[in-house]
Structure 1
């Protein structure tokens, strides 16, 4: 391998001329010796996948995305704890364990409120607006622990995608009038206009503090205040397509310029 090339496991940089993509082998022994040597000799690995990320870090190698991106992927509970501990603005959120969930939730939150699947949900499928006690009972049957968040009915919803310290794209997600969730897969409309500076500033601050160097951050604005909702390490590319942008080409350029 040329000294000016780096290896990648995932396929996100497959066509980048300064990257050699090795692919994912669930068993390391299945890699041929020449690929093992590339991984052993390289100080930096791109898109190592969740299977290998921790191993490369333990070996003293740099990886992109950062190990924090892999450690917090898909876990709303741990992300919220991290945001709160770092002093980032979040909507009022509590997690409930045990048999007294229903009683404690109704004591802490007035109806309506939002219940979410605490881990590994996407595209709005694990997000529920709970307006009645019966809806709460239904939510609790399938979600343990319970992840409960205050409901902001007049909240603007934004997605900001960053790589390294660079904002790649920012847009507002405007939900269908019959839908409270602002997911594009559920019919939300994308707008690139009038993105407040406060949204960009919070995204940059959160990315730096959390060491999330490749993520799509969801941020809402309500009554002039901004709140970070979630970090998405696996995010859709509808916004890039609508903006006429090629995410893989952008990533390749960043790698070539040593910006990531």
Structure 2
């Protein structure tokens, strides 16, 4: 199997993978045409690879398109799993009415930039002035109810299965559950219902590489978002090798039959 990667850090440990800098996509077009799979393209490359060159990519195009920003993700979930989405409004800055927002959500509420990760661009809004500041700085508004949680679940789905799950517990006094914002890991008591929800969502939307963030409130499970390029530290702590899971998945593609495994057998 011939593989091309545009992200060498996410394919470490794989053999026989050709790395091409994203900006050289058209200079190296012949190598790309010969590849069986193209791994981790940047978003701006996806349409050219899939629709132009008819290449198989990983993550797949569903994952890229639906995970491009919070609006795309939320609208897909509204159509398929509406009960598992926190109450959310997506509004144009020009049509936003502060009094209506206050009436619907009250304070505190959560306001998000539509494309962000690691807790950046997610704000706890506690009064009208903070809401005005958010509106002034964002053309598209993504406003969500504040759930009564101090932790969430990160559930990682690769290929066609969940490969790992853990709690992210916010630091004392912190609003964010992101590890980059000081949260801690807990690998105990992962609810099966949350795992099953992620499996259903990924299968329905045909997503094959995502870190889902799930909030648990009583018996309800809410999908906060999913990240296409999730962090791997939590999985490494579990002994999970994401690259191996990826290779096993793409090598199971019936169009290909690699003669030898990428990972050497343990002695």
In the alignment, does 2:80 pair up with 1:86?
A: yes
Q: Please name the residue that 1:61 is paired with.
A: 55
Q: Please name the residue that 1:142 is paired with.
A: 137
Q: Please name the residue that 2:125 is paired with.
A: 130
Q: Please name the residue that 2:27 is paired with.
A: 30
The secondary structure found in structure 1 opposite 2:11 is coil
Q: 2 CA distance for matches of 1:150 and 1:196?
A: 23
The secondary structure found in structure 2 opposite 1:26 is helix
Instruction: Please list every run of 5 or more consecutive structure 1 residues that lacks an aligned counterpart in the other structure.
Output: none
Q: Please name the residue that 1:231 is paired with.
A: 226
Q: 1 CA distance for matches of 2:25 and 2:177?
A: 40
Q: Is the 8 A contact 1:13 1:252 kept in 2?
A: no
Q: Please name the residue that 2:113 is paired with.
A: 117
Greater shift, 195-204 or 51-60, is seen at: 51-60
Q: 2 CA distance for matches of 1:73 and 1:204?
A: 16
Aligned positions, number: 251
Query: Relative to structure 1, is the Cα distance of residues 174 and 14 closer, same or farther in structure 2, using a 3 angstrom cutoff?
Result: closer
Instruction: Please list every run of 5 or more consecutive structure 2 residues that lacks an aligned counterpart in the other structure.
Output: 257-267
Residue of structure 1 aligned with 2:101, choices 100, 105, 111: 105
CA RMSD of aligned residues (A): 2.3
Deviations 1:49-106 (A, max 9, x none): 3232211211333221111222233411121111001134100000121154313211
Residue of structure 2 aligned with 1:47, choices 40, 45, 66: 40
TM-score by length of 1: 0.87
Q: Please name the residue that 1:5 is paired with.
A: 2
TM-score by length of 2: 0.85
Residue of structure 2 aligned with 1:153, choices 148, 154, 157: 148
Query: Relative to structure 1, is the Cα distance of residues 226 and 25 closer, same or farther in structure 2, using a 3 angstrom cutoff?
Result: closer
Q: Please name the residue that 1:208 is paired with.
A: 203
Q: 1 CA distance for matches of 2:149 and 2:195?
A: 20
Residue of structure 1 aligned with 2:179, choices 184, 191, 207: 184
Q: Is the 8 A contact 2:149 2:215 kept in 1?
A: no
